[in-house]
Structure 1
Amino acid sequence: MSTAPATTPPAATRPRHYLARAAFRKFTLAEYHKMIAQGVLQDGEPYELLEGNLVLKMSRGSPHDSALQALFKRLLRLVPPGWDARGQSAITLPTGSEPEPDVALVRGDENTFRKRHPGPGEIGVVVEVSDSSLLVDRDDKGSIYAENGIPVYWVVNVPDRVIEVYTQPVGSGTAAAYAQRTDYAAGALVPFVLDGATVGSVAVSDVFG
């Protein structure tokens, strides 16, 4: 395990990696929802809204999916009453994003979000399993999640077989970031923290096999 400040370049020099896969114009959350409701975007299409940009999601390989499956099963066993685990489902962020994290731990149960997606105050942890999407997940989505006050963010770094845990969101706009990053490598246990309390742990070796 290694802990260090989660350093990021100054906002003026930090690019958004996802823009290479973004649409030609920005959309509001209302426009995005209307496109879904009218069938312009079909259920299951590989797009998500990031800071108003309609972004094509990266394809997923077997290392990504196997790590996600292993992690999701273990988190499900640890989720306490009053919380629910959602897999690859949207969350709505008021700064103009509606990402679909690989896992989101949210307040409520399977009935809470039948008519809407969870918002920032209802989200305890988000997780992105990252292979080819590592730069987008670590930098771009990390900044977006931090700006919206998501308290804990996990990046399951498949290439390096490390789980990066980001905490202490600070800043706003493109300058938003997490002040603390802790890396957990093979042999380590990652504490699973919800609402400031540790409710269990996940072995890194169990996630990557």
Structure 2
Amino acid sequence: MNDATDCLNDPLPEFTLPYPVSRFSVEKYHEMIATGVLTEEDNVELLEGWIVPMMRRNPPHEVAMELVGDHLRSLLIKGWRLRDQLAITTSDSQPEPDFAIVRGSARDNLTHHPLPAEVAMVVEVSDSSLSRDRNKRRLYARAEVPVYWLLNLNARQLEVYTRPSGPTEAPAYAEQAIYRAGDEAPLVVDGQTLGAIKLDDILP
């Protein structure tokens, strides 16, 4: 295991669009879903006010998803559950991470998607979506999600981000670590280490 380099938390580059665009609040996004403006067929998520299409997944990505899900579920303890490809709601976003470890039972979320206070960790499995998933660190750090795992299939490494800043001018995680083949990554939920996952067991 090696420390991650500072470049992993570099800010996004500035860009300019040739025409005005609109950003949407979480409330407006929910309204668009409730009224049928957006449906399941649209396959989108809300990221920092932008409605963006979800990335398509290839076979190695799907294999990694199964491996990660199996190993996370095997280590979880009572009071926590694993949600896969389901929404969580923050102040300005409604991402649908590949996995989220969430407090309580499924029925606790009958009236709302899990909020950051209910989420112990989010996981993204990345290949073609790597740039977007790196950028998601900012919204997860702003929401104070304690742990963010990014399984980087391109580099065959797990990037682990901890100690979120919260809603600062430049949200980020203060600590980063990288685990590679042969390493074991500890699974920490609500400050408790539940076990470790071998990288060789979750890389396709």
- Does residue 205 in structure 1 map to residue 200 in structure 2? yes
**Match of residue 3 from structure 1:** 3
Unaligned runs of 5+ in 2: none
Output the amino acid matched with 1:156: L
SS at match of 1:206: helix
- Does residue 118 in structure 1 map to residue 103 in structure 2? no
**Match of residue 32 from structure 2:** 35
**Match of residue 90 from structure 1:** 87
TM-score, length-normalised on structure 1?
Answer: 0.89
Q: Residues 158 and 5 (structure 1 numbering): CA distance in 2 closer, same or farther, change over 3 Å?
A: closer
Output the amino acid matched with 2:130: L
* CA distance in structure 1 between the partners assigned to 2:184 and 2:98 by the alignment: 20
* CA distance in structure 2 between the partners assigned to 1:100 and 1:69 by the alignment: 16
Q: Of 144, 148, 157, which residue of structure 2 is paired with 1:153? A: 148
* CA distance in structure 2 between the partners assigned to 1:83 and 1:92 by the alignment: 18
Q: CA RMSD in A?
A: 2.0
* CA distance in structure 2 between the partners assigned to 1:155 and 1:195 by the alignment: 18
Q: How far did 1:174 drift?
A: 5.6
TM-score, length-normalised on structure 2?
Answer: 0.91
Unaligned runs of 5+ in 1: none
Q: How far did 1:157 drift?
A: 0.3
Contact 2:141 2:165 in 1 (8 A): yes
Q: Using CA pairs below 8 Å that are at least 6 residues apart, which structure has the higher relative contact order?
A: 1
- Does residue 193 in structure 1 map to residue 191 in structure 2? no
Count of matched residue pairs: 201
**Match of residue 48 from structure 2:** 51
Output the amino acid matched with 1:158: L
